[in-house]
Structure 1
Amino acid sequence: MTTRTANGFTPIDQNLYAQAFRLLDPTPEPAAPAPVPVILAAAPAVHRTGPVEQTLTDALAFLDTHGWAKHRLIHPEGARCSIGALRAAAGTRNAAYRDAGNLLLAEARRQHGKQWQAIPAWNDHHTGAQVRGVWEAAIQRAHHLNI
């Protein structure tokens, strides 16, 4: 077997290859120091007010603004009983209205006895401070239940 060593190519300067490779792959920059791990404190969970909590909160704000009444849904001067405030806050008798009313009545029964079958009867037999205490507790309960 005979091997031909002459290939017919023009010889190239080897330094030219070295220079081309340096241009294509320049000297690597010094390695950056390893990043220091940073421990971030977890951000507190963001509470989103649920429709029941919002309805109860709006109703209590309505009572604070317009006044609280006994023995009538709407007083001529604009004050309302608890159920009237709840209706004003909800706008319609939707699920939030129903659930807010159920939660308010459950809290009223928890604080003032199981004999109360409806919000108006409970409202009419208690003081403004007692009624407000039940509203505030119901709002806190809705907040904790995230509803």
Structure 2
Amino acid sequence: MNTRTQTTDFTPVDQDLYEKAFRLLDPDLDPIPEPTPPAALVVPAQVPLTAVALVRLTGPVEKTLTDALAFLDTHGWTRYSLINTQGARCSIGALRAAAGARNTAYRDAGNLLLDEARRQHGKKWQTIPSWNDCHSGAEVRSVWEAAIRRAHHLNI
């Protein structure tokens, strides 16, 4: 059986007429509210828009390296001993003091520091103490600063 309609002259529906008819049938029906724009699109005129500064958190490796260098600046740097009689420390001693424990940040900071020492002073260095003991304070500080910059750049 074919139920297709051959005519195409339909009368358009008048929405107001339907609403009036339904109101006559049910007078207790509440009026249809006007649509309101979503709250996200409504911006009060009295609220000024201000720029928000982005905050970058310091990663644990960068913090450990920065704190260790600050420790060296405060207490002094030494060679040939972890801590000398005046309280100055070698690089590994400062790293241990800054980290507080031999945790992941301590190990990663040490690896980054040693990698930077190898970049600047050759690949022969196997440990931080051996590198520390064979270089001047200025050379050691240069490696610390470069390692901090790398940690910052890597966001670690």
TM, length-normalised to structure 2: 0.67
2:121 counterpart letter in structure 1: H
Counterpart of 2:22 in structure 1 is none
The alignment-based identity, stated in percent, is 76
RMSD over equivalenced CA pairs, Å: 1.6
Following superposition, the deviation at residue 84 of structure 1 comes to 0.2
Counterpart of 1:115 in structure 2 is 124
Instruction: Kindly provide the CA deviation profile for residues 49-99 of structure 1, in whole angstroms up to 9, marking residues without a partner as x.
Output: 011000000000000000000000000110000000000000000000000
- Structure 2 runs not aligned, ≥5 long: 1-43
Aligned length: 110
Instruction: Kindly provide the CA deviation profile for residues 8-54 of structure 1, in whole angstroms up to 9, marking residues without a partner as x.
Output: xxxxxxxxxxxxxxxxxxxxxxxxxxx99xxx797553210011000
Matches within 5 A, 1:1-147: 43=52, 45-147=54-156
Against the structure 1 CA distance between its residues 44 and 114, is the aligned structure 2 distance closer, same or farther, given a 3 Å change threshold? farther
Question: How far, CA to CA, are the matches of 1:112 and 1:47 in structure 2?
Answer: 31
- Structure 1 runs not aligned, ≥5 long: 1-34
TM, length-normalised to structure 1: 0.71
Question: How far, CA to CA, are the matches of 2:127 and 2:99 in structure 1?
Answer: 18
